[in-house]
Structure 1
Amino acid sequence: MISNHIKEDIKILILEDNTADADLLVRHLTKAGLSFVSKVVESRKSFEDGLENFLPDIILSDYSLPSFDAVSAFKVIKDKNLNIPFIIISGTIGEENAVMLIKEGVTDYVSKNNFSSLLQKISRALKEAEELVEKEDLLQKLKIQTAALLVANQELGFQNAEKEKRAIELLNANKELLAFNFISSHDLQEPLRKIQIFISIMMDKEMKTMTEDGKNSLKRIHVAATRMRQLIEDLMDFSRVSTNDHHYEMSDLKDIIEDVKSELTDTIHQKKAVFKVKGLMPVNIIAFQFRQLIYNLMSNSLKFSIPEIPPQITIQSVMLKNKEFRLLNLPESPQKCDYWHLSFQDNGIGFEAQYNQNIFVIFQRLHHTEDYLGTGIGLAIVKKIVENHNGIIIADGNLNNGVTFNIYIPVVKDFNKKKGAFKVNKENSGAIPVKQQNAFEMH
């Protein structure tokens, strides 16, 4: 049976000066069922021509010829760096010489007195040659891939160097920003305070002698100075929450809310605001930033309340399993963990649904300054704080029917500042189970 490794019509170059021996060899291979074409040569010149023009798949060579021999023929193969199996067929080579030639690289040898193993050795030789070609192709591909990898690594090195350069530039920019913050909080506010003081003195002592136009102008200066000071303070707040001071700690939202209410107590009593707080739980957050978040949302609700209608502010929180959270189909939610959901709702003037995303843009205002004071930075700070917690905030506004802010924060155990990544810990989330939450109201 012919081996599957022998392809159809293989080309055999036969180096033999004895025509009878060459015919015998061809008849044996034909009888064995081998599909082949052959070319018989007997000199060096015809052998080299056969290599170039016949392009053999395998060479069968007599050991000794009058003007040429197998050793010389094999040397030609090696000099040309050809990967062609070379089998010596001889009755006089001797086993010692055969072993020596095989060590030199000759594929195999067969005795002229016994052709029984020839077909098997041809099959094996062709198989080995095919495997060698595949191996060399694989090595060549590997060299190309290695070269490409070296180029890629070099490019990566350039990119890393560029990133390090930009990191240094960013560090310097942050230093300049801190210097600007210092100037904003001291050098800019100091002359502004003096302006406000002198305006207050003029309003107390000079108003009676002023014309109506002068009084109106003085009042407008006073409003502009107050707004400028508020803008500086809000910008300071925004820059503070943009820094990398991410120190997480277990915090009780009830205490944070009470603290903020105490700070806004005058406005709360003036507007007769009512608070409903449900299901609060200790959570792992950046405490001072979350206090700023609650303050901004609460003051926003009090500011944009409907005249003559007491503001009603509802704050509640629940834990959402990851499966429940995924059902919400919210954008930008790569964390595969449970989420803490904080809802902040009021019954104020609200806004049209088309502005649900615009309200988080810094300096974005939906109302005239004359109607509602503000700088348009408060909700931008809220969004930045939520992003610092790797969370999501969604606004759901309705014109003249209030607004609901839904905040989703991943339940985390630790925060890695270097990688900016959260480590999820579902078993110890740091939150009280929902069944243990107590609802209560505060007025």
Structure 2
Amino acid sequence: MLKSDELIEANKELAFQHVEKEKRAAELGIANIELAFQNEEKEKRAEELSVANKELLFQNEEKEKRAGELIIANKELLFQNGEKEKRAAELSIANKELIFQNEEKEKRAAELIIANKELAFQNEEKEKRAAELIIANKELVFQNEEKEKRAAELIIANKELIFQNEEKEKRAAELIIANKELAFQNEEKEKRAEEKEKRAAELIIANKELAFQNSDNEKLAAALIIANEELAFQNQEKEKRAAELIIANKELAFQNEEKEKRAAELFIANKELLAFTYVSSHDLQEPLRKIQTFVTIILQNESENLSENGKYNFGRMQLAAGRMQQLIEDLLAFSRISTTDHKFEPTDLGVIIEEINSDLKDTVLEKQAIIEGIDLCPVDVIPFQFRQLMYNLISNALKFSRTGIPAHIVITSNIIKGGDLPNSKLSAEKPYCHIKVKDNGIGFEPEFSERIFEVFQKLHSKEVYAGTGIGLAIVKKIVENHNGTITAKGELNKGATFDIYIPVH
């Protein structure tokens, strides 16, 4: 039994060993294949080694070359080390400078933080001032409307005052005539009283004669009754006329008082109007300067952060601020004309024209303009104001010149009597200095010859020709300050002519 079991175990072991042998035979087959593969790899490695030896020879040659290069490189390295030491010294200095710059940057960063806070505060202030400016603009528009209404009322009042003065003069003339007539009637009354006494004496004689002349007496009695009735009627008329004269004198006194009150009111209103224009113009300049300054800073420093539309809008804001600045300066100039002293001095017009030509040199060159002063006579004027007048007329002529045609401006003057001129505003006996400014520009339609002298009146839009519409109003005001008159005539595309008449002192 035991032997059988051992035999079974031996068979199992033999079967196991047979299986193992097969596995080992399979592994040996794989090993042989692998050995053949390794032999092939060895042959390949042998070939690679041959190639490697050749490459090694080549590399040795290269090494020798590199050794030569290395010697040169070492020499160069020594030189570079010297340079490096120099650069290290420079770098040390640069590091110190960089540390200093970093400190400066930190300081500038701190300043920038403060500046940003200040800018934020200024932006808030700007917004507040912008809101105030909007309100001020609305108020200014309202005040301008009120001023226009007041100006219209003043014009009506002036016309009414002129009419009342004319009426008063007529009434005064009537009163003088009435007084003369009353004196005459009083004289007549005295004469009639004397005549009445004489007639009474004659009546007594007539009564005595009446006894003898009945027929004549009846006629005389009838005539006497008629004479008495006529005398009573004349006395009543005289009393009525005297009552009318008393009423007229009272009315004249009342009108004189009203005229004086109205004149005082007009004087105060004009003074207030000039003061308002002057003060409001000055007050508007400060926020406007800030707007212009901040817009310039933003366009210079923040240009990269702005879109094209943003740049365009800021540019438009800058142009609008510039136009408003010009308007305020023109308003100030207009207000100064009425407030400056009227000191007349003998003045050479040729000198004034030369100065203006020099001031407008760039524009003159751009327009290829010719400005001529021909036969200019000296005249007594307020020099500062008259220079402003000529500057405005010449700059206007340059501005409104025709495209592609060189501007030609001619100024002439001569002395002439008022009676020789077709102008009812001039005194016939007085001599006048007639100054003519003529150009070859775009001109204007004849119906606008009066309108162009009004404040804020423009015949063209700001997109076509820049300006505020005050320049010629200033010219007219200056002429009026010289007790003179100015007229304008023009024709489209044929130029304009301005005629100025200043009294000769």
- 1:204-233 residue CA offsets vs partner (Å, 9 max, x unmatched): 212232110000000000000010111111
> Does 2:373 correspond to 1:280?
no
> Does 2:353 correspond to 1:257?
yes
2:333 corresponds in structure 1 to 237
> Does 2:458 correspond to 1:365?
yes
1:204 alignment partner AA:
Q
SS of 1:281's partner is: coil
The answer to whether the 8 A contact 1:85-1:126 is kept is no
Out of 280, 296, 305, the residue aligned to residue 401 of structure 2 is 305
Provide TM-score, normalisation by structure 1.
0.60
Out of 205, 208, 223, the residue aligned to residue 304 of structure 2 is 208
2:499 corresponds in structure 1 to 406
Higher mean alpha-carbon deviation, 335-344 vs 374-383, is at 335-344
Kindly state the Cα deviation for residue 374 of structure 1 after the two structures are TM-superposed: 0.1
Kindly state the Cα deviation for residue 143 of structure 1 after the two structures are TM-superposed: 3.5
The answer to whether the 8 A contact 1:350-1:403 is kept is yes
C-alpha distance in structure 1 between counterparts of 2:280 and 2:210, whole Å: 105
The answer to whether the 8 A contact 2:281-2:331 is kept is no
The answer to whether the 8 A contact 1:84-1:129 is kept is no
1:294 alignment partner AA:
M
The answer to whether the 8 A contact 1:321-1:339 is kept is yes
2:100 corresponds in structure 1 to none
The answer to whether the 8 A contact 1:85-1:129 is kept is no
Higher mean alpha-carbon deviation, 248-257 vs 341-350, is at 248-257
Kindly state the Cα deviation for residue 302 of structure 1 after the two structures are TM-superposed: 1.4
C-alpha distance in structure 1 between counterparts of 2:288 and 2:437, whole Å: 35
Check 1:379–1:216 CA distance in 2 against 1; reply closer, same or farther (3 A cut): same
Alignment of 1:388-403 (within 5 A): 388-403=481-496
Higher mean alpha-carbon deviation, 314-323 vs 219-228, is at 314-323
SS of 2:380's partner is: strand
1:374 alignment partner AA:
G
1:50 corresponds in structure 2 to none
The answer to whether the 8 A contact 2:419-2:429 is kept is no
2:243 corresponds in structure 1 to 147
C-alpha distance in structure 2 between counterparts of 1:112 and 1:270, whole Å: 113
> Does 2:432 correspond to 1:339?
yes
Larger radius of gyration: 2
C-alpha distance in structure 2 between counterparts of 1:264 and 1:271, whole Å: 11
Q: How many residues align?
A: 310
Check 1:171–1:196 CA distance in 2 against 1; reply closer, same or farther (3 A cut): same
Kindly state the Cα deviation for residue 364 of structure 1 after the two structures are TM-superposed: 1.8
C-alpha distance in structure 2 between counterparts of 1:241 and 1:141, whole Å: 57
- 1:214-267 residue CA offsets vs partner (Å, 9 max, x unmatched): 000000000000101111111222233345954444332223323333333332
Kindly state the Cα deviation for residue 373 of structure 1 after the two structures are TM-superposed: 0.9
The answer to whether the 8 A contact 1:302-1:311 is kept is yes
Out of 343, 350, 355, the residue aligned to residue 448 of structure 2 is 355
C-alpha distance in structure 2 between counterparts of 1:153 and 1:412, whole Å: 41
> Which structure carries more helix by proportion?
2
The answer to whether the 8 A contact 2:278-2:335 is kept is no
1:383 corresponds in structure 2 to 476
C-alpha distance in structure 2 between counterparts of 1:262 and 1:317, whole Å: 21
Out of 241, 246, 259, the residue aligned to residue 163 of structure 1 is 259
Sequence identity percentage: 49
C-alpha distance in structure 2 between counterparts of 1:178 and 1:257, whole Å: 30
C-alpha distance in structure 2 between counterparts of 1:249 and 1:138, whole Å: 65
SS of 1:309's partner is: coil
RCO comparison, higher one (Cα < 8 Å, 6+): 1
- 1:335-365 residue CA offsets vs partner (Å, 9 max, x unmatched): 5433332110112222233433332222221
Check 1:238–1:149 CA distance in 2 against 1; reply closer, same or farther (3 A cut): farther
2:438 alignment partner AA:
Q
> Does 2:391 correspond to 1:295?
yes
Alignment of 1:94-243 (within 5 A): 107-108=204-205, 130=227, 140-242=236-338
Show structure 1 runs of 5+ residues with no match. Answer: 1-82, 88-101, 414-443
Show structure 2 runs of 5+ residues with no match. Answer: 1-195
SS of 2:280's partner is: helix
Kindly state the Cα deviation for residue 195 of structure 1 after the two structures are TM-superposed: 1.0
> Which structure carries more strand by proportion?
1
- 1:372-426 residue CA offsets vs partner (Å, 9 max, x unmatched): 11011111222233334443322222222221112233x353xxxxxxxxxxxxx
